[in-house]
Amino acid sequence: MKKEYDFSKMKSRRNPYASKLKRQVTIRMGDDVVAYFKALAADTGIPYQSLINLYLRDCVAHNRKPELSWH
């Protein structure tokens, strides 16, 4: 392995994984929901935002929909 590499002659190219990057969004959640995921994050060692993303991804994968009832 070299001590230094010369990257000045490299050609730039598009990131092939750019389509798989995450998008930042603003979402309002109840304090109880955030507290739940933060507690879960403390237990698992996984950041709470990642846990929320994993949970939502699981919902998408299994086509889960919320049960809504209007009174």
% pLDDT > 90, the chain: 62
Cα separation, 35 vs 18, in Å, equals 32
The whole-number pLDDT of residue 47 equals: 96
**pLDDT band with cut points at 50, 70 and 90 for residue 1:** confident
All residues at 6 or more sequence positions from 38 whose CB lies less than 8 Å from its CB, including other chains: 48
Average pLDDT of every residue of the chain: 91
> Residue 26 pLDDT more than 80?
yes
**pLDDT band with cut points at 50, 70 and 90 for residue 46:** very high
